[in-house]
Amino acid sequence: MKETFINSILLTIILMLSADVKSQNCDHLVRGIILDQHDTTILAFANIIIEGTGQGIQADSSGYYELKGLCPGTYTFICSHVDCEPIKRRIKIEDKITECNFYPEHHAKELEQVIIKSRTGQESTISKDQLDQETLASFKTSSLSQNLTNIAGISTLKTGSNIEKPIIHGLYGSRIAIIQQNSKLEDQQWGNEHAPNIDVLMFDKIEVVKGAASVRYGAKAIGGAVLLEQSKLYTGNKLKGSFIGNIQSNAPGASIGLVLKKGIKKYSGLGWKFATGIQKFGDQSAPDYVMSNSGLENVNASFSIGKDLGKWTNRITISSRYNNSGLLLASQVSSLKDIERALSADIPAIIRPFTFAIDAPRQQTLHSVAIYNGGVRLNEAHNLKYNISYQFNNRKEFDVRRSGRTDIPAVNMNLHTLEMDLTEDHRWNEHVSGSVGVTFMSQQNINIDNTQRRPIIPYYSLINPGIFVFEQAGFNDWTLEGGARMDFLALRSKYYNTQKQLNAPERQFTNGLFSAGVSRSIKDIITVRGNAGMGFRAPDVNELYSDGVHLSASAYEVGDPNLKSERSFKLIVEIENSKDRLFHYELNIFRQSFSNYIYQKKDGFVSTIAGLKLKYIYLQDDALFQGFDLNMDLNAGNFISLKSRTSYVHATNKATNKGIPLIAPFSTNLDVSLHLLKKVENLPLFDLIISGDYSAAQKRFDEDDLFKAPPASYILFDVGIRYSGRTRNNSIELKCNNILNQTYSNYLNNLRYFSPQEAGRNITVQYSFNF
């Protein structure tokens, strides 16, 4: 009886529980979108599961997910995506429909300074440095070269106050490949005084490859490569963007930049980005005088639109940049007496009152580019990428001319470039991956016949096909890499020589090269990398056939049609400890030997219709470059941090056993940042930054190469204050460069012969706002 009663009670409880479960009506659903935490771009195919249950679903290509058949209650949801830390979130389900978006923090953040890893997850053996987010944001309206000087081992070759070219380990010009959105920049970069036509505003990542980069990027990467990339297009419905503006006191003027981005709601995965900037600066001043006719103005605009469907990606970028730069008025001389005076004087021969006007001599460029980037994921192990670009570059140089002809350009060239490449990325297994690809470039330079001058650069056309393969294997803490490339270049030129005879030479160059590397990570604390590679570079058309006035350089240049290809072998070793340690260091040691290194050597003076010019001839000799870069960072808690960059290049002409022209001397820098407010997330930042830059005198030079010995060593001090709001969306910065108004001369300035002093004190105020 008792047992029957107990069984009846248990049966009743079970029936009641069963009825209660049925009464819950488990027809609720949770839905939402998976977006990147930083730029709210869609993260396709993320996984969402309910902890402790077998329920889960994968988001679709637009990042949308929907979980149905849920009972009321509180659950722990887990969202995971490749390269992201999983997110756990407690969700209480009461209503029929519950909205819940997830925002994973994507580890492939393209703005932060990270170690680039391969598709196998192993360290790359090639030495690379990337600008951190804070530096890139601060220098958005600055030139590419000014951005790159924040990286150890990078210096700039200058022509006056506005024209700068990056130097990597002593090499510059057409030995450095500048890659914008997978397209190699082609903008008459053969000239020392031809600054890269790049709008930094449009790009979200700037990286420098210091190692042997010719296998991937071709002959013009014999000295390294600069990679500029945009981040993945934002596809959200809300308009986002940023504004940056600054004013300065020396070269008085201002610059503004605006970036906008938005998704197109009607089309999933489709987004666009627009960037534009304007700069206008007047004459710059040295401590003791005005650098007359050193003003600058430029306008640029870029637009990008694309769609990412998961398997297929398509993107089109178009941009145009106009630049008008004054050339130091004192650099144009008419007699030997004028040149002798300029080389010995402490101030320029011509000094006029400050003005915003830009008169002759000046250079004017217009560079436009259209780039298509596409890709398709064939399967989990194979991707196909294809890029097509067209570039147009018009370059004009204006001289001071008689009879009202100053407005007629003395140089007027149109450069047309078509580039195509196809790359197949593959992963054979979890340890081995690689790429194989083909490249093609066609280029044509046309001189416009309205200059009334014989052009320094002839008409020419060239084709440059290539093929490359690159493989990487990673096992535990070891990574091995190897690659090879074959290039063919055919060059046809047509020009009249000084005797008015028509010449139509043809040159062909075929070259093969390779690279190999190894890296090892020791207990995730220290990484050691070693990379060796062979490179080559065919002589540029100016090195072969120039014979005339190069107005921007205030020089008369004579090429050698018999020049051979440069060949080099570079060995680079890098030691780096983990970036998350209190004290971080990165030591880079390199050695690069050259056969047939091409350089300019002085050859007296020559009288021309444009006045008396410094004469240079192109020569070839074997050379050796060796040196080191050292980066050190110390984060001493929340109140102080220190950064140091040190570089040295020892370059030798093996024929003379003396130095090579225009090699940066030993330099070192120290930045001390004092965090006046405790550096804590969600609190404002208020920093005082004190910087010191030391540049030694260049002692290694050949007096037969230069018209004037290198200047003395110097040290400069900068001071700045930066405030960032709690959300980091707005900041204001006050900075004073050369605060002591130090008088100094820069060995790497081509116009130091005519203006022995560099810019004096400069105060800049900059405001930026993200929305």
Phi then psi for 543, rounded to 5 degrees?
-70, -25
Q: What is the residue-averaged pLDDT of the chain? A: 87
User: Quick one: pLDDT at residue 678?
Assistant: 67
Could you tell me the sign of the dihedral formed by the alpha carbons of 171, 174, 175, 178, in that order? positive
Residue 278 half-sphere exposure toward CB, CA atoms < 13 A: 3
Residues 6+ apart with CB under 8 A from 21: none
What's the rounded Cα separation, in Å, for the pair 151 and 641?
A: 17
Q: Take residue 597 and report the two structure tokens written for it.
A: 């290194």
DSSP letters spanning 509-561: EEEEEEEEEEEEEETTTEEEEEEEEEEEEPPPHHHHH-EEEEGGGTEEEE--T
Whether the bond between 409 and the residue before it is cis, its omega within 30 degrees of 0, is no
Residues 6+ apart with CB under 8 A from 398: 360, 361, 362, 363, 364, 406, 407, 408, 409, 410
What's the rounded Cα separation, in Å, for the pair 591 and 570?
A: 6
| Whether residue 3 has pLDDT greater than 60 | no
What are the tens digits of pLDDT across the range 257-289? Answer: 999 999 998 887 899 999 999 999 999 999 999
Q: Across residues 378-384, what is the average pLDDT?
A: 89
| Whether residue 152 has pLDDT greater than 90 | no
Which segment of 145-159, 278-292, 465-479 scores lowest on mean pLDDT?
145-159
Residues 218, 220, 226, 232, Cα dihedral to 10°? -40
User: Quick one: pLDDT at residue 212?
Assistant: 66
Percent of the chain with pLDDT over 90: 56
* H or E segment to which residue 19 belongs: helix 2-22
What are the tens digits of pLDDT across the range 579-632? Answer: 777 899 999 999 999 999 999 999 999 988 778 889 999 999 999 999 999 999
Which segment of 9-18, 245-254, 488-497, 624-633 scores lowest on mean pLDDT?
9-18
Q: How many residues does the chain have?
A: 771
H-type alpha helices, 416-534:
none
What are the tens digits of pLDDT across the range 213-246? Answer: 778 888 888 989 999 999 888 888 899 999 999 9
What's the rounded Cα separation, in Å, for the pair 457 and 194?
A: 14
Confidence at 702, pLDDT banded by 50, 70, 90: very high
What's the rounded Cα separation, in Å, for the pair 624 and 174?
A: 18
Residue 145: CB atoms within 10 Å = 22
What are the tens digits of pLDDT across the range 160-174? Answer: 777 889 999 999 988
| Whether residue 323 has pLDDT greater than 80 | yes
User: CA angle at residue 704 from 703 to 709, to 5 degrees?
Assistant: 30
Residues 260, 261, 265, 267, Cα dihedral to 10°? 130
User: Quick one: pLDDT at residue 684?
Assistant: 85
711 versus 110: which is more confidently predicted?
Answer: 711
* H or E segment to which residue 12 belongs: helix 2-22
Residue 155: CB atoms within 10 Å = 26
User: CA angle at residue 168 from 163 to 173, to 5 degrees?
Assistant: 50
Residue 482: CB atoms within 10 Å = 18
What's the rounded Cα separation, in Å, for the pair 707 and 702?
A: 10
Q: Of 269, 224, 185, 289, which is closest to residue 588 (Cα–Cα)?
A: 224
User: Quick one: pLDDT at residue 609?
Assistant: 79
DSSP letters spanning 98-134: EE--B---BS--SSS----B-TTSPBPSS-EEE--HH
3-state SS assignment for residue 150: coil
Do 720 and 762 form a contact (C-beta atoms < 8 A)?
no
Radius of gyration of the CA atoms of the chain, in A: 30
Q: What is the DSSP letter of 356?
A: S
What's the rounded Cα separation, in Å, for the pair 304 and 643?
A: 35
Q: Across residues 711-727, what is the average pLDDT?
A: 93
pTM for this model (two decimals): 0.83
Q: Take residue 740 and report the two structure tokens written for it.
A: 């002591």
Letter for the amino acid at 98?
Answer: T
Confidence at 387, pLDDT banded by 50, 70, 90: very high
| Whether residue 111 has pLDDT greater than 50 | no
Confidence at 149, pLDDT banded by 50, 70, 90: confident
| Whether residue 125 has pLDDT greater than 80 | no
